[in-house]
Structure 1
Amino acid sequence: MDTSEIRNRFLAHFEAAGHTVVPSASLLVDDPNLLFVNAGMVPFKPFFLGQETPPYDRATSVQKCVRTPDIEDVGKTTRHGTFFEMCGNFSFGDYFKERAIELAWELVTKPVADGGWGFPEDKLYPSVYVDDAEAVALWKKVTGLPDDRIARLGKSENYWSMGVPGPGGPCSEILIDRGPAYGADGDFSAEDRYLEFWNLVFMQDELSAVRSKEDFDVAGSLPKKNIDTGMGLERVAFMTQGVENMYEIDVMYPVIARAEELTGRRYGVSHEDDVRFRVVADHVRSSMMLIGDGVTPGNEGRGYVLRRLLRRAVRSVRLLGYEDPALPELMPISRDKMGETYTDLITDWDRIARVAFAEEDAFRKTLQAGTQIFDLAAREVKSSGATTLGGDQAFALHDTYGFPIDLTLEMAAEQGLSVDEQGFRGLMAEQRERAKADARAKKGQHADTGVYRGILDEHGPTDWQAYDTLETESRVLAVLRGGAPVPVLAPGEVGEIVLDRTPFYAESGGQAADAGVIDWDGGSLEVLDVQRPVRGLVVHQVRVVDGELTAAAARHLLHARVDPEWRTGARQAHSGTHVVHAALREVLGPTALQSGSFNRPGYLRLDFGWTQALTPDQVRDIEQVSQQALRADLPVGWQYMTLEEAKEWGAIALFGETYDNTKVRVVEIGGPWSRELCGGTHVDHSSQIGTIVVTGEASVGSGSRRIEALTGVEGFGYLARERDVVAQLSTMLKAQPDDLVARVQDMAERLKATEKEMERIRLAQLLGAGAALAASATQVGPVKVVAHRADGASGGDARQLAVDVRGRLPQGEAGVVVVIGVADGKVSVVAAVNDEARSRGISANELVRAVGPLVGGKGGGKDDLAQGGGTDAGGVDEALRLVTHEVGKRAVQG
């Protein structure tokens, strides 16, 4: 049974049982605790938390998921993968344990001919939470299984929570016995033997004081009991397809097969190679799905995860023996298999391929640079007589240059060296712990929403009127400071208030929050920020300007007023963002899609997927197309429709945003020229934007660019300042504005020529001292020594002078030259040793290493020429004296 058939049977089974089929959400999620959707229930989280009312009582989905904590284990087991699909059925206060068990057991055991999966009942074992006697009884009732076929497991296996205060509950898993070849009878910890493939969560408890996954308090029962199940599609696929693991199923193995062709290696021959093949299959698919949902490679967050996946895939192919670009050969295979279900992979392939292939090209250059750095480190280890590359050096290669540790180990072995893996692992562990600490700190943000959920439950959603008016008469529902209710806000204090209705736009969709005031008879507040901590509730951060705000104010009307100038500027900037996005796509093509944006009055920035810098002509074209749209006075309108209707209409959805499938707002400018899903405030006609002035275009990470622009009065102000600069330059240079570029270019060329001539004269003077220095060499035993301080000399100057003086020393005599340059607070040490001196055991490398600490630095190189640097000019004279001493000592030994 292929993967698509398993997926279709799952959805059909639950749709027939009255469930609404919900399409998979994006992998990107607006949640402070998550980088990616990591479970099928995540899109339904607001329903389980009581933040929103679900539009259905029961639902089913096949959700795209990515889990990243175990990236290093991918391929080593049959269980670890980064991207996977989670099949789930959900009940929101509707059916509970018994019906959930019935539905799952029916699908799993129903014959294939009848639409089920046909798993043999004698191979199936339900598991329950050890204290859930009700579940044991229900499993017996529904399945007829004896008591000894039901496994009792502890909290770590069979109790579910989100790790923070909120809903939780016991769960039951369905396990399949794969036979004694995979482990001992009855050993349910042997996950390869008794493989769990479906988890049924009975969400019934309200948890408090959550200290860890297994340490928490149960505050009581939830007012509504819910069902959340998760079934691993890939696990069912490999069990029904008769293969050993998830990497060999129909949607993944073709990538391995192509990798076999490219590398000449064979899957199934050695465990080491098998792991690499599996990494390739998993990471190619995972990377493609992430790029498809709008992630671009970067150095932090989601972008760093994607970069790591892509680079591990490329590195694994390289370790299998294929050194040419691999992703253009492998990713289309995965596209063709996954594109059967996720058609966006086909329609958006040009963008996906451009991002992925550019990252591989960049990594290949990184490998080249890292190899050079590794070679230098290996030479240093060997020259010191050691045989182990330090853990800190391996970590620097990995962390700073993106050089994989496996590659470091491989290359070290080729040179007869080992690597301090323990030291490397220790530094990696420290880095991971810092990351976990940061994640734990962020996790606490989720608990902070409790007070807002309470306000929402008590008073209902805010009557939000930002689209319709700039002023409302409102009442105070809550006064808070530091996330907790307070009786009063005194003059000068900053706190938060919740109103029953508000005209203020809450920051969202890239648009900054409105500014304005809230006043009443006896006081006023300055609005500093407006946010939605939970959906449906608008919260205003305010500073008390006059009077004091007390709970008694809730009995009186307040006047909430948005600053009209602020709102006008915000509308111009947000509509300007849509215009620039449409212009960008017109100039560069439809694959130049927005990946993020921010706008405030008079300013906008727009991030988009693109792998190379825009040319000045392209930037000018984007600006010109934008200005033409303003001059055309295009109508701006919006309407509400379902998400599917919006997609059919050609509306663009921003990657990573979450949209309500029952109703979305589509903003259009000039009809089909610009149609985007957007909840922001906009002008009525494009001419009201005033102007759009592009002020910058730059990279914000591999495969991602950023355009910045000014709109409205701010745009005109920018142009006026540029006009003033041109006028001042015209006056200073006595030239017409049209002649300024040529005049400045001529001045720059003359200045460059002058500086080049001055440099030639300076260098000639520096080298002119070479003969005198050689003639004044000090005789130290059989060696002529020149130890010279060169003030104003850079590292390059000192190197040239040292080599020049060495060449002027008498032929056939041992000679040593050490020049220490001092310039701009930096010290440069260069040692040059001729063949005769080296034959007496004198090494330039050893001399630089000896004197380096005296000038606060270090260095090294070859025996005939070495260089170092430092920061302590006060030690130069002592360092020069040490040169003579070291030469004398080595000459005697030689």
Structure 2
Amino acid sequence: METAEIRRRFLDHFDRNGHTVVPSAPLISPDPSVLFVIAGMVPFIPYLTGQQAAPWPRATSVQKCIRTGDIEEVGKTTRHGTFFQMNGNFSFGDYFKEGAITYAWDLITRSQADGGYGFDPAKIWVTVYHDDDEAASLWRKIAELPEERIQRRGLKDNYWHTHQPGPGGPCSEIYIDRGPQYGPDGGPVVDEDRFLEIWNLVFMQEEITDVKSQEEFRVVGDLPSKNIDTGMGMERVAYLLQGVQNMYEIDQVFPVIKHASALSGRRYGADHTDDVRLRVVGDHIRSSLMLIGDGVTPSNEGRGYVLRRLLRRSVRAMRLLGVDTHALPELLPVSRDAMKAAYPELDSDFQRISRIAYAEEETFRKTLQTGTQIFDLAAAETKQSGQPALAGQTAFKLHDTYGFPIDLTLEMASEQGLSVDEPEFRRLMSEQRERAKADARAKKTGHADMSAYRELREPGPTPFTGYQELESDSRVRGLVADGRALPAAAEGDVVEVVLDQTPFYAESGGQDSDDGVIVGDGFELKVLDVQRPIKGLIVHKVRVNKGEVRAGHDVLAKVDPEWRIGACQAHSGTHVVHAALREVLGPQALQSGSYNKPGYLRLDFAWGQALGQETRSEVEEAANLGIRRDLPVSATYMPLEKAKEIGALALFGETYDEDVRVVEMGGEWSRELCGGTHVARSAQIGLVTLTGESSVGAGSRRVEAFVGIEGFRYLARERTLVSQLASLLNVQPEQLPERVSRLVSQVRESEKKLNQLRASELGSKAGELSAAAKDVYGVSFVGHQAPAGSSADELRTLVLDVRGRLGNERPATVVMSAEGANGRPVVVIATNEEARRWGLKAGELVKVAAQTLGGGGGGKDDVAQGGGSDATKIAEALARVEHVVGETVTRSS
């Protein structure tokens, strides 16, 4: 049974049984402290925990998930995968244990001809929490399971909670006996390879607190509403029903492995090492496809870094399999074809997805070449020093700077007969992770404990009145500082305030938060920031300018009208620029992110190459023509499906409610899902002036612009600058390009002549230097300080020339030249074959000089180059190298 069919049957089964089919949320987690959705229940957490009333009594979904903790283990075992799908059914105070068990048993045992999965009831085992007699009794009643196939386990295995104070409850897991060839008999408590878990039914019925671990917590009491949360592993069910050995061999993954096998000539199943690499390719290609499909782009941090690692590990695995050509154009379309039956949007969006992936592979191929050179140099130095292991610092640099996974460094080191100082590498990685965690904690709404916000959310969501008014009468619902509720705040304090209603826009959808004040009887609060730490709750970060504020105080919340005007212009300007990009470049130039505040906007969009000046001008003109047309701007609420039908554009990675707000400018010219504030007509934007365009990752570009009065001020500054330059050069403004071009040509010609003169001077110097060579214990030594401004290439030419002249007359020769213009010294050393036989190697001598100069360097034995930071020590470096030459010779003799 194909995986897409397993998916269809699951949703159909629960749809027939009164469940609302909820589409999968994007892989990007709505929780700012978590990168990705890691479980099927994540989108339903607000309903399961009671933060919000569920829109339906019962629901079902197939949720896309990503787990990244075991990326290095992918392929080594058959249990570790990055992307997976979790089938789930949920009840919010509706049915409970009996319903969950009944629905699950019916689906897994009903014959395939009747729409079920057709598992043999005699091969099904279940586990229940050790004192959950009710669940055990229901399994005997509904499934007629014998007592020996209902096993009881403790908190570690059969009790579920979020590891935070809140809901929890016992769970019941369903296992399939795969047969004696997979392990010993005795059920899941004996062997979980033979007895494979496919479904977990969680009975959320208790409220817990004082959570210390999976097994250490205190039960407060029963929940007012008992909920059901289940999770069936799609991939596990697929490989059982498809008769294959593991998740890598199912129909959604194996076609990539098969094609990679054909490209590499390595047969899958013939060699364990090759099999691991092929499984890495199969898993990572699919995971990357799904992540890019949901709007993630490669970068050096956060979600983008995870994607970058997956893509680069795929390319690296293919390289280790012997495939040096571009791999992704061969493999990504295969993964698309395997997944599109379940996710047809991958097919329609493949042009964008592939452009991003292929650009990342091209970038990595270049960094791989650079990183390999650095590795080779480090490996050579390690062997020369007699050390058996490459330094952990080197491995970390390769990983952190060049994107080398540690196993690539380990393999390359092994090929050189070296190991790697892994403990040091792990220590540096751990330090980096701790720094990242500290940064995350410092971010807005980064409190680990969200209970104070949840309590303030309980009376209901915070109504936003800012679409209709800039001032609202309200009441202080509560105060928070460092994640804890406060009774009051006094002058000078910086705290967070929650109001019963607010006109302040909370930062979201790329729009910065509003500015303004909150005033009451005897106190004034300056609003510094506005955020939504949990869904539905608007929180104002404020500084108490005077007086004291307490929960329950009546207030007047006032948005700065000038700020809001600028914010509306900038956000509407963002929509205009997006529409202009799509008009000029085509519909594939879709927005992938944005930020706007009064007077300024930036917009990231899918595009694989830089925009030329002519194209930028076209985009700018299209945007301003749209503004000049004075298009009406409207905002309408409608069901999400209707918004999609009329072509409203959604931002990749955003999660939307069933009812969405659609903002239009001139109808279909600009139609986007958006919760931001906007002008009433496009002419009110005033002016959009593009100021920059740059890359923000493979397949993604960024434009920046000033808007409104800031756009005018920017052009005024440009006009003043042009006027000053025209006056300075005594030409008309329109003649500036030609005049500046002529000046640049003249400067380049002058520099070329100076370089030729300097090279000629150095060339004539070669004869003098060779004639003046010192005899250092039988070695011809030349130490020379070059004229200021000499380049490293010129120094290299000089020392090679001198070495050539001396090589015909003297047996052993060492030639050194250094230059220190602008305080940044450069040194080049060359040795001849006889000197190298005496142990005088250029790379080692350059290190001596560079260390004296406060820097580093290296290179080959015959010629090497280095640098430093202290040009005043050039004479000392020359003397130090001469001394080492003498020491080396006397030691060897």
Give TM-score, length-normalised by structure 2: 0.94
On the 8 A contact 1:394/1:405 being kept in 2, the answer is yes
The match for 1:717 is 713
Secondary structure at 2:584's aligned position in 1? helix
How far residue 197 of structure 1 moved from its aligned partner, in angstroms, is 0.6
- Distance (Å, rounded) in 2 between the aligned partners of 1:452 and 1:816: 72
Tell me whether 1:881 sits opposite 2:882 in the alignment: no
How far residue 312 of structure 1 moved from its aligned partner, in angstroms, is 1.7
Deviations 1:636-687 (A, max 9, x none): 11211111000001001111111111x1110111111111000111111111
How far residue 614 of structure 1 moved from its aligned partner, in angstroms, is 1.4
- Distance (Å, rounded) in 2 between the aligned partners of 1:234 and 1:552: 52
Tell me whether 1:685 sits opposite 2:681 in the alignment: yes
Change (3 A) 1:730 1:132: same
The match for 1:559 is 556
Change (3 A) 1:227 1:795: same
The match for 2:91 is 91
Change (3 A) 1:732 1:422: closer
Deviations 1:420-451 (A, max 9, x none): 26447635763675378559958994654322
Deviations 1:205-243 (A, max 9, x none): 222232233333333322211110000111111111111
TM alignment of 1:813-828, pairs within 5 A: 813-814=810-811, 815-828=813-826
Give TM-score, length-normalised by structure 1: 0.94
On the 8 A contact 2:62/2:88 being kept in 1, the answer is yes
- Distance (Å, rounded) in 2 between the aligned partners of 1:33 and 1:601: 28
Secondary structure at 1:475's aligned position in 2? strand
The match for 2:604 is 607
Could you tell me which amino acid in structure 2 is paired with residue 345 of structure 1?
L
Tell me whether 1:750 sits opposite 2:746 in the alignment: yes
On the 8 A contact 2:413/2:420 being kept in 1, the answer is no
More displaced, 522-531 or 738-747? 522-531
- Distance (Å, rounded) in 1 between the aligned partners of 2:110 and 2:492: 69
Secondary structure at 2:402's aligned position in 1? coil
How far residue 468 of structure 1 moved from its aligned partner, in angstroms, is 0.9
The match for 1:52 is 52
More displaced, 267-276 or 425-434? 425-434
On the 8 A contact 1:855/1:879 being kept in 2, the answer is yes
TM alignment of 1:485-496, pairs within 5 A: 485-496=485-496
More displaced, 826-835 or 161-170? 826-835
Deviations 1:693-713 (A, max 9, x none): 011111112222111111111
The match for 1:517 is 517
- Distance (Å, rounded) in 1 between the aligned partners of 2:275 and 2:211: 41
How far residue 825 of structure 1 moved from its aligned partner, in angstroms, is 2.9
- Distance (Å, rounded) in 1 between the aligned partners of 2:518 and 2:391: 62
- Distance (Å, rounded) in 2 between the aligned partners of 1:664 and 1:442: 32
On the 8 A contact 1:395/1:427 being kept in 2, the answer is no
- Distance (Å, rounded) in 1 between the aligned partners of 2:425 and 2:175: 35
Change (3 A) 1:380 1:307: same
The match for 2:39 is 39
Change (3 A) 1:69 1:189: farther
How far residue 198 of structure 1 moved from its aligned partner, in angstroms, is 0.1
Change (3 A) 1:115 1:436: farther
- Distance (Å, rounded) in 2 between the aligned partners of 1:361 and 1:836: 43
How far residue 327 of structure 1 moved from its aligned partner, in angstroms, is 1.7
Could you tell me which amino acid in structure 1 is paired with residue 607 of structure 2?
W
- Distance (Å, rounded) in 2 between the aligned partners of 1:85 and 1:352: 20
- Distance (Å, rounded) in 2 between the aligned partners of 1:479 and 1:413: 59
Could you tell me which amino acid in structure 1 is paired with residue 86 of structure 2?
M
Could you tell me which amino acid in structure 2 is paired with residue 340 of structure 1?
A
On the 8 A contact 1:127/1:152 being kept in 2, the answer is yes
Deviations 1:711-754 (A, max 9, x none): 11111111111111112222222211111111112122222222
How far residue 269 of structure 1 moved from its aligned partner, in angstroms, is 1.9
Change (3 A) 1:771 1:686: same
Secondary structure at 1:788's aligned position in 2? strand
Could you tell me which amino acid in structure 2 is paired with residue 378 of structure 1?
A
- Distance (Å, rounded) in 2 between the aligned partners of 1:467 and 1:314: 49
- Distance (Å, rounded) in 2 between the aligned partners of 1:71 and 1:540: 39
Could you tell me which amino acid in structure 2 is paired with residue 99 of structure 1?
G
- Distance (Å, rounded) in 1 between the aligned partners of 2:842 and 2:332: 51
Change (3 A) 1:719 1:774: same
Change (3 A) 1:423 1:486: closer
The match for 1:162 is 162
Could you tell me which amino acid in structure 1 is paired with residue 841 of structure 2?
S
- Distance (Å, rounded) in 2 between the aligned partners of 1:450 and 1:841: 69
- The size of the alignment, in residue pairs, is 888
- Distance (Å, rounded) in 2 between the aligned partners of 1:856 and 1:559: 62
Could you tell me which amino acid in structure 2 is paired with residue 677 of structure 1?
L
Deviations 1:571-591 (A, max 9, x none): 111111111111111111111
Change (3 A) 1:192 1:526: same
The match for 1:378 is 379
Change (3 A) 1:582 1:179: same
On the 8 A contact 1:66/1:82 being kept in 2, the answer is yes
- Distance (Å, rounded) in 2 between the aligned partners of 1:861 and 1:475: 71
How far residue 359 of structure 1 moved from its aligned partner, in angstroms, is 1.3
TM alignment of 1:203-222, pairs within 5 A: 203-222=204-223
Secondary structure at 2:196's aligned position in 1? strand
Could you tell me which amino acid in structure 1 is paired with residue 210 of structure 2?
A
On the 8 A contact 1:788/1:819 being kept in 2, the answer is yes
- Distance (Å, rounded) in 2 between the aligned partners of 1:152 and 1:585: 59
- Distance (Å, rounded) in 2 between the aligned partners of 1:529 and 1:394: 41
- Distance (Å, rounded) in 1 between the aligned partners of 2:37 and 2:584: 34
Change (3 A) 1:851 1:742: closer
Secondary structure at 2:553's aligned position in 1? helix
On the 8 A contact 2:393/2:425 being kept in 1, the answer is no
1:575 paired residue among 572, 577, 587: 572
On the 8 A contact 2:447/2:483 being kept in 1, the answer is no
The match for 2:330 is 329
Change (3 A) 1:785 1:130: same
Change (3 A) 1:747 1:353: same
Deviations 1:165-205 (A, max 9, x none): 22222211101111222122226353211110101111122
- Distance (Å, rounded) in 1 between the aligned partners of 2:442 and 2:108: 39
How far residue 796 of structure 1 moved from its aligned partner, in angstroms, is 4.2
- Distance (Å, rounded) in 1 between the aligned partners of 2:432 and 2:527: 40
TM alignment of 1:466-505, pairs within 5 A: 466-505=466-505
Change (3 A) 1:889 1:520: closer
Change (3 A) 1:731 1:125: same
The match for 1:136 is 136
The match for 1:542 is 542
Aligned-residue sequence identity (percent) comes to: 58
Change (3 A) 1:810 1:682: closer
- Distance (Å, rounded) in 2 between the aligned partners of 1:439 and 1:731: 50
Deviations 1:792-820 (A, max 9, x none): 35644543443343344483223332334
TM alignment of 1:618-767, pairs within 5 A: 618-661=615-658, 663-767=659-763
- Distance (Å, rounded) in 2 between the aligned partners of 1:191 and 1:178: 10
On the 8 A contact 2:441/2:447 being kept in 1, the answer is no
Identify unmatched segments of 5+ residues in structure 2: none
Change (3 A) 1:330 1:852: closer
Change (3 A) 1:838 1:28: closer
On the 8 A contact 2:476/2:550 being kept in 1, the answer is no
1:832 paired residue among 802, 811, 830: 830
- Distance (Å, rounded) in 2 between the aligned partners of 1:838 and 1:321: 37
Change (3 A) 1:840 1:184: closer
Secondary structure at 1:400's aligned position in 2? helix
Alignment RMSD? 2.6
Tell me whether 1:784 sits opposite 2:784 in the alignment: no
Secondary structure at 2:720's aligned position in 1? helix
